[in-house]
Amino acid sequence: MKILRYFILFFICMYAAAHADDGQPDISTIFFQANQAYKSGDFKAAADGYEKLVGAGLRNGELLYNLGNAYLKQGDTGRAILNYRSAEMFLPRDADLEANLQYALGLAKDKIDCGEGGSLLTTVCFWYAKLSCRELCYVFFAVNAVFWLLLAVKFFMRREMLGISLYITLFFTLLFGASFGVKLYNTVYSLSGVVLAGEVMVRSGSSTSDTVLFKLHEGAELTVAGQENEWLKITLCDGKKGWVQKSSVGIAGGS
Amino acid sequence: MLSMTRPVLILLCLLVTGFAFTGISAAEVSVSASVDKNEASLDDYIVLKVTVEGTREEPMMPDLSAFKFQSRGTSSQMTIINGSMSSKLEYNYILYPQKAGSFTIGPFTLDADGQKATSSPISITISKAEPQARQSGEIFVTASVDNENPYINEQIVYTLQFCRRVQIAGASLTEQPSFDGFLVENLGKEKEYSKVINGQEYVVTEVRQALVPVKTGALEITPSTLQASVVSQRRSRRGGNPFADDSFFGFSETVPKNFRTGPISVMVKPLPAEGRPADFKNLVGDFTLTSQLGKTRVQAGESITLTLTVSGTGNLKSLQNVDMGQLQNFKVYDDKPVFEPALINGKIGGKLVIKKALVPLVAGTLTIPAISISYFDPASQSYKKAAGPASVVQVSPATDKEKIDLVQAAGQPSAAKQEVQVLGKDILPIRTSHAVMSTENPYPGFGIVLLFALLPAACFFAVFIVKRARDRSSGDPGSARMKNAYRNFTKNFSEAKKALDAQDDQFYQTGSKALKDFIGDRLNIAGQALTPQDLEGLLGGDVSAETLEELKSLLEFFDSGQFGFRKCSVEERKAVLGRMQKAVEHLNRVLRK
């Protein structure tokens, strides 16, 4: 992975060198300037710089974390949470990220009671939250390979212990296969969103003439259940449902 | 046959007749109650028998609050008189009187299918047990204290003795005595021994408890009741039965009996006011005090352990600490006292160890004065002091590193820990490493997923197919032989080619082998014994007559060369081999189809 990363970095640097004469600063400069801006307290310039890097095709957990920090320092809680959630897809066990996300969630105005269901699931299937989609995929590959290998060995050597090992490996193959499948689906078809606007009217239908059911504020997290033109059908974890305008909501991983 | 059926018929008739009359008898429902005696004492017990006739319903129990009762089972009886059958059910109970007076048992009522029956009430008079009677006879219980007139906090011993010279099957205390106004401690486990009372040897079971009165005046220890199953012998019809005493053989029975002690009055005296020391802390008994210093040479500020040990019999448990008064030039830190209870000469006592940490504040020769405790000795009826010796400590000046904190000395040995105060909140900083300038996909590509998920399975199936094919070929040698026929021919043919220049025999042999082995392998038969005539039967329907003739000709050529004296040149041999190759290839194609 490291070699791949350096390889990509090399190509990015080559690309940056090739386009150095465009009159545009290269990505290293943008990154350096954004960091400087952040340290000097110019958080807007820092956020703009990081956004430029994202726009240039860079995408990783650290960059999204920095972007979240820059937005949070500006007081843009919604975008901060959105970028932290996106960064979580790459860095699921990063303690700094978790601390900053919790801090940002603490600033969100809406208190949505999600009950114990989520925490129970994450306690029982603890690996789901602790591993990224890629990591889950690698674990699945490994367990799957071990399973088929054991099956092949059993095919040649009929040993009783192999049978037990085979069933255990099959169980883990199915478990991690299912976990990976769910994670992949949630990552590819990102369903979690964050309210970016200061206040959003959640309506009973996809029209401004529909009844306002309730209001959500910046930083409120939601699940996208459907889309119709410029409207999103959303669900809150406490079960509330409604329609919001797409422009007022950011989708995690989709920025 | 007739002789067998007749008794059966008679029995059936009797049963039918019996059941017919049962219906009549069942209609007469009655209940009656009886006791074995109407007058009893508190030590005694009464046998109650309730008889129900005409039904198997249980009667309603009346109020029996003046008794403890115990079921002794039921017995049933069925009688047929002149064809009339009646059933009787007896319920047996043992009643243990709980208080003296006149009581009425019953009436018992019965409700069987709407028919009601009532028994007559029974009058019972219960008298108090005679104390004299208790300590006589074969079995009795006594309770006593060693001192009926103790001082407050003075320890006395309560003894319960169960004496018997008859066999018992078991015993238990059904009524515990009440020790209101006393602190109670058990003095070991119950013990059993033999004792001669009034010239008779008894087995005695004894339970002892230490009682410490905590208030003055008249206190009463209530009676206790012991229930024992006394083994009594049945009269044997035949004399000289060696097993007469053995309940196993059914010649003896157990009879439950109650034994009750009398109440005990204890008059508790207050401690005398005269001569009471100022430091007296209600310690009553007999005690000694010893003191021991951990070390006698220390630096100022260094801790010394002073161990005070108070031991003896009495209410030592109530002593919490030993007051040392105002100890000059020392800081004193108390440790938690440790009490080790012990039984000393049949009385409760023990050892109380009190440890104190002494920190000398100044250098020099410091004296710890004699430490004492005051207690009341009931034996001499006077207040006494138990004292340890005075001690001397040589204290050298403290080094600079160990200056004594006199301000802290007055307070606690260590300050209480504080919660960490959160003074502000902020997020953690940004990442500045070059890893930020990389691109990652949060999920792997579909192709990679598919490849790595299916690759192991594909490998497995490939291995599976290869192995199966091998197994199949090794399991069916015929088909394997057919399949490898041409390959073997190629090998043999090249051997024949090599023998072109060789001796005649070798060429003919290798050539013959190549052709015959091929035909034999292809048809899964023994090829070496093939003759040209055999070929017609084997290949007649499959190959053309021309090919058949060619093969026959080749076989004849090799056979005549091998077994005859036919000689041919190398050129001729080459031509024959060419013909053989063509014929075999053609035959291979035809047979494969």
Torsion sign over Cα B63, B69, B73, B78 = negative
pLDDT digits (tens, 9 = 90+) for B180-229: 888 888 887 888 888 877 777 888 888 888 888 988 888 888 888 888 88
The domains of chain B are located at: 13-127, 131-235+245-267, 285-405, 478-592
**Cα–Cα distance measured from residue B181 to residue B183, given in angstroms and rounded to the nearest whole number:** 7
| The amino acid at B125 | T
pTM of the model: 0.41
Tokens 């197994």 belong to which residue? Answer: B471
Q: What is the CATH number of domain B13-127?
A: 2.60.40
CATH number for the domain that contains residue A203: 2.30.30.40
Pairing, β B391-396 against β B297-299: parallel
HSE-up of residue B272 (Cα within 13 Å, Cβ side): 11
**In this structure, what token pair is assigned to residue A159?**
């040993």
ipTM of predicted complex? 0.77
Cα dist from B423 to A102, B161, B347, B367, whole Å? 18, 74, 63, 52
Taking the CA of residue A32 and the nearest CA in chain B, the distance in Å comes to 8
Cα B463 to chain centroid distance, Å, stands at 53
The reply to whether A9 and A102 lie within a common domain is yes
In this structure, the answer to whether residues A17 and A48 fall within a common structural domain is yes
What is the pLDDT at residue A48?
95
Query: Please, which pLDDT band fits residue B24 given cuts at 50, 70 and 90?
Result: very low
DSSP B186: E
Whether residue B263 has a cis bond before it, omega within 30° of 0: no
Residue A122 and residue A151 in one domain? yes
Summarised one tens digit per residue, pLDDT across range B50-64 is 888 877 777 888 888
Give, in order, the Cα–Cα distances in Å from B34 to each of B48, B79, B121, B123, B585: 6, 21, 9, 10, 121
Residue with more model confidence, B233 or B117 = B117
The predicted pLDDT at position B168 comes to 84
A96, A32: one domain = yes
Please give the single-letter amino acid code of residue B94: I
- Over the range B530-559, which residues count as b (16 or more CB within 10 Å of their CB) and which as e? bebeebeebbeeebeeebbebbbebbebbb
Q: C-alpha distances in angstroms, A156 versus A17, B20, B296?
A: 57, 81, 82
Closest residue by Cα to residue B257 from B224, B229, B225: B229
The answer on A140 and A221 residing in a single domain is no
Average pLDDT score over chain B: 79
Residues A161 and A196 in one domain: no
For residue B246, is pLDDT > 60?
no
Please, what's the largest Cα pairwise distance for chain A?
72
Q: Which residues of B touch A5 (CB under 8 A)?
A: 435, 438, 440
Q: Are residues A70 and A21 in the same domain?
A: yes
* Domain endpoint, select from A85, A107, A129: A107
Count of structural domains, chain A: 3
Domain boundary among A107, A127, A147: A107
Residue B407 host element (H or E)? helix B406-409
Considering the domain architecture, whether residues A103 and A17 belong to the same structural domain is answered as: yes
DSSP letters spanning A220-231: -EEEEEEEETTE
Which CATH topology does B131-235+245-267 take? Immunoglobulin-like (2.60.40)
Same domain, A181 and A199: no
The predicted pLDDT at position A254 comes to 60
**Interchain pair B430, A70: CB under 8 A:** yes
Interface size A-B, in CB pairs within 8 Å, comes to 107
Contact call for A253 and B442, based on CB within 8 A: yes
Summarize pLDDT for B59-95 with one digit per residue, the tens: 888 888 888 777 878 888 877 777 677 778 888 888 8
Residue B446 has pLDDT above 50, yes or no: yes
Instruction: Compute the residue count for chain B.
Output: 593
Final residue in a domain of this structure, among A107, A135, A162: A107
Write down the pLDDT at residue B14: 44
Instruction: Categorise residue B240: left if φ over 0, alpha if ψ from -120 to 50, beta otherwise.
Output: left
The answer to whether the Cβ–Cβ distance between A63 and B460 falls below 8 Å is no
The pLDDT of residue A2 is 52
For residue B354, the model assigns a pLDDT of 86
Cα B533 from chain centre: 90
pLDDT at B416 over 70: no
**Could you tell me if residue A113 is inside a domain?**
no
pLDDT mean over B221-243: 67
Indicate whether A61 and A155 sit together in one domain: no
**Spatial CB neighbours of B448, under 8 Å, sequence gap ≥ 6:** none
Q: For helices A61-74 and A95-107, what crossing angle results, to 10°?
A: 30
Give, to the nearest 10 degrees, the angle between helix B532-539 and helix B545-563.
150
B136-145: average pLDDT: 83
Residue A160 domain flag: yes
Which residues from A are below 8 Å from B436, CB to CB?
Answer: 31, 53, 58, 60, 62-63, 66
At B441, is the pLDDT very low, low, confident or very high (cuts 50, 70, 90)? confident
- The token pair at B364 is 């020099």
Shortest CA distance to B557 belongs to which of B530, B576, B542, B575? B576
Q: For residue B142, is pLDDT > 70?
A: yes
Q: Is residue A76 part of a domain?
A: yes
Least confident interval from A24-28, B106-110, B493-497, B562-566? B562-566
**What percent of chain B is predicted at pLDDT more than 70?**
85
Classify domain B285-405 by CATH number.
2.60.40.740
Cβ of A141 within 8 Å of Cβ of B434? The answer is no
The encoded tokens of residue B220 equal 């009463």
pLDDT at B551: 87
| Topology match between the domains B13-127 and B285-405 | yes
CB contact (8 A) between residue A53 and residue B434: no
Cα B308 to Cα B313: distance, rounded to the nearest angstrom: 17
pLDDT at B102 over 80: yes
Name the token pair of B250: 């059914």
Q: Which of A163-177, B242-256, B529-543 has the lowest mean pLDDT?
A: B242-256
| Least confident residue range of B20-29, B110-119, B247-256 | B20-29
Shared domain check, A246 and A218: yes
What's phi and psi for B371, nearest 5 deg? -105, 135
User: Could you tell me if A177 and A196 lie in one domain?
Assistant: no
* B-chain residue closest to A53, CA distance: B437
* Residues of B with Cβ-Cβ distance to A35 under 8 angstroms: 430, 432
Confidence of residue B5 (pLDDT cuts 50, 70, 90): very low
Cα–Cα distance between A51 and B94 in angstroms, integer?
A: 96
Question: What is the percent of chain B where pLDDT is above 90?
Answer: 3
B22's CB contacts (< 8 A; 6+ apart) are B85
List per-residue pLDDT tens for chain A, 255 residues long.
Answer: 455 566 565 555 555 544 444 555 688 889 999 999 999 999 999 999 999 999 988 889 999 999 999 999 999 999 999 999 999 989 999 999 999 999 999 998 888 887 765 556 677 888 888 898 989 999 999 999 999 998 888 877 766 677 888 899 999 999 999 999 888 888 888 688 999 999 999 999 998 899 999 999 999 999 998 888 899 999 998 889 999 999 999 988 764
State the nearest Cα–Cα gap between B482 and chain A, in angstroms: 27
User: Which of A113, A112, A107, A114 lies closest to A218, judged by CA?
Assistant: A107
Domain B478-592 fold is Four Helix Bundle (Hemerythrin (Met), subunit A) (1.20.120)
What is the spatial distance between Cα B523 and Cα B540, in angstroms, rounded to a whole number? 13
pLDDT at A204: 92
Contacts 24+ apart (CB under 8 A), B99-103: B99/B42, B99/B66, B99/B126, B100/B42, B100/B126, B100/B127, B100/B128, B101/B66, B101/B125, B101/B126, B102/B126, B103/B66, B103/B67
Domain extent for A84? 2-107
Residues of A in contact with B461 (CB under 8 A): none
Q: A7, A14, A137: best mutation site toward chain B, by most B Cβ within 10 Å?
A: A137
Which pLDDT does position A27 carry in this prediction?
A: 83
The pLDDT of residue B392 is above 60: yes
Residues A179 and A125: their CA atoms lie apart, in Å, by 9
A130 CA to chain B: closest CA distance, Å?
14
